[in-house]
């Protein structure tokens, strides 16, 4: 049972980095943490569209700074071949390896017809099981 769930709904790279970073910090603090991917974020992870950056982070200088500094902090988001670029799947793999539960929202899997397209770091959960998790956890949305 998750103690805390961070909801990631926007297809923004900075949002994914923040939500996973906070979930990793929660794990370090001894909490069972998860990230629920829904709406745009889920669609982008499943390959429906690409991620984007929020307006203030669209410039190359800001993205390079985020990539390098986040990776230096232990949020392995920098692309292995060129650290100026990000690789969100590297960050997802790190989070999963550290025990953060990465969940695909079952409602949006159906709405977007993503059955069979959910990337491997994420797990699909039946709606009833997810509701039980949400009921017992603190849910924090949208960083």
In the chain, % of residues over pLDDT 90: 84
The domain spans of the chain are 4-141
User: What is the predicted pLDDT for the residue at 85?
Assistant: 83
pLDDT band at 123 (very low <50, low <70, confident <90, very high): very high
pLDDT band at 117 (very low <50, low <70, confident <90, very high): very high
CATH class of the domain comprising 4-141: alpha beta
Query: pLDDT tens, 30-79?
Result: 999 999 999 999 999 999 889 999 999 999 999 999 999 999 999 999 88
CB 68 within 8 A of CB 77: no
Select from 26, 47, 32, 23 the least CA-distant residue to 95: 23
Question: Which pTM was predicted?
Answer: 0.93
Q: Order the strands of the 123-124 sheet from edge to edge.
A: 123-124, 101-104, 33-37, 4-8, 138-141
């Amino acid at each position: 049972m998750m103690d805390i769930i961070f909801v990631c709904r926007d297809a923004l790279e900075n949002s994914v980095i923040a939500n996973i970073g906070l979930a990793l910090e929660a794990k370090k603090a001894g909490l069972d943490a998860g990230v629920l991917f829904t709406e745009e974020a889920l669609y982008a992870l499943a390959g429906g569209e690409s991620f984007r950056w929020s307006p203030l982070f669209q410039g190359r200088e800001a993205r390079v700074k985020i990539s390098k500094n986040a990776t230096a902090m232990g949020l392995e988001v920098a692309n292995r071949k060129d650290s100026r670029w990000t690789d969100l799947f590297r960050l997802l793999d790190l989070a999963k390896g550290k025990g953060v539960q990465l969940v695909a929202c079952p409602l949006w899997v159906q709405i977007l017809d993503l059955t069979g397209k959910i990337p491997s770091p994420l797990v699909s959960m039946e709606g009833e099981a997810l509701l039980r998790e949400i009921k017992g956890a603190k849910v924090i949305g949208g960083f």
